[in-house]
């Protein structure tokens, strides 16, 4: 039986000698959709109309650079011997945690310069970050990367997945189907997005939507990372993404509790100040 009933090409189209890949298109699409959603909420919450656009002009390129730095640092045993390949980002090799850390740091500095509360902006942006991650993970699907260990086709069929996903989860080099961990994370983030949008209506204390995002994403990433076969490791079998996820959960919980106890009077999400 031909398992590749639908041949999914990671290259969307050619522009002369340039191959435009679905991965890049999906990343850009995720950023644009996230921007429009965040922009609408930012204006609604009293921020200047150009605030989010100006922020993204700094956050996007710095996040990409940090994502690459994070990845290279975790695989320095290879890149230290091949320094010329460090800049070859077009051959793959970026890490979402590097992008998030770089983006958060850039946003913090930007908001301080603008005289705006970082947590106010972070609460507004948190659902948009998830939107970008939801769409971006489908780039991994197109590239047949970031997948998990071997599973049977029957296992995937029992998940009620369509054939075009099941077929793409057959890795020819391995001769087997694999866990669609890209899909697990994408679905987890969709649920998280629904939760964050609902929390806006609850009118939580400032920062709690952002910290809830960190906690939610970290919980899902910790378990999903354990299924993946392409993890970055700190030492031995210690997966860096799981370590960062644990730190994220702890930081998120501690921040919420600390601010509830110590920050008085509490500013709410819907307070435009």
Count of CB atoms situated within 10 Å of the CB of 201: 9
CA-to-CA distance for 245 and 225, rounded, in angstroms?
A: 10
Asked if 27 contacts 136 with a C-beta cutoff of 8 angstroms, the reply is yes
Q: Which of 130, 92, 116, 157 is nearest to 221 (CA)?
A: 130
What DSSP character marks residue 84? Answer: G
141: tokens are 């699907």
Q: Check the annotation: does 137 bind a ligand.
A: yes
Report residue 238: phi and psi, to 5°.
Answer: -85, 105
Residues 6+ apart with CB under 8 A from 22: 9, 10, 11, 12, 139, 142, 143
Please enumerate, by residue number, every residue annotated as part of a binding site.
Answer: 137
């Amino acid at each position: 039986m031909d398992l590749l009933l639908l041949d999914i090409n990671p290259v969307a189209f050619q522009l002369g000698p340039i191959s435009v890949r679905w991965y890049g298109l999906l990343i850009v699409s995720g950023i644009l959709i996230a921007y429009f959603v965040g922009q609408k909420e930012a204006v609604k919450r009293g921020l200047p109309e150009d605030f989010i656009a100006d922020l993204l002009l700094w956050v996007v390129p710095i996040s990409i650079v940090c994502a690459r730095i994070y990845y290279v640092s975790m695989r320095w045993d290879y890149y230290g011997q091949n320094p010329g390949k460090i800049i070859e980002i077009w051959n793959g090799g970026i890490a979402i945690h590097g992008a998030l850390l770089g983006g958060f740091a850039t946003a913090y500095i930007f908001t301080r310069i603008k005289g705006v509360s970082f947590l106010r902006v972070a609460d507004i942006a948190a659902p948009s970050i998830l939107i970008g991650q939801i769409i971006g993970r489908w780039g991994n699907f197109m590239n047949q990367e970031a997948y998990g260990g071997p599973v049977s086709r029957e296992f995937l069929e029992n998940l009620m997945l369509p054939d075009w996903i099941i077929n793409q989860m057959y890795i020819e080099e391995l001769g087997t189907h694999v866990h669609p961990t890209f899909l697990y994370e994408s679905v987890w983030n969709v649920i998280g997005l629904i939760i964050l949008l609902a929390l806006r209506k609850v009118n939580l204390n400032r920062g709690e939507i952002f910290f809830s995002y960190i906690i939610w994403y970290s919980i899902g990433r910790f378990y999903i990372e354990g299924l993946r076969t392409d993890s970055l490791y700190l030492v031995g079998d210690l997966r860096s993404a799981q370590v960062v996820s644990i730190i994220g959960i702890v930081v998120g919980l501690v921040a919420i509790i600390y601010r509830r106890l110590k920050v008085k009077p509490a500013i709410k999400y819907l307070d435009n100040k």
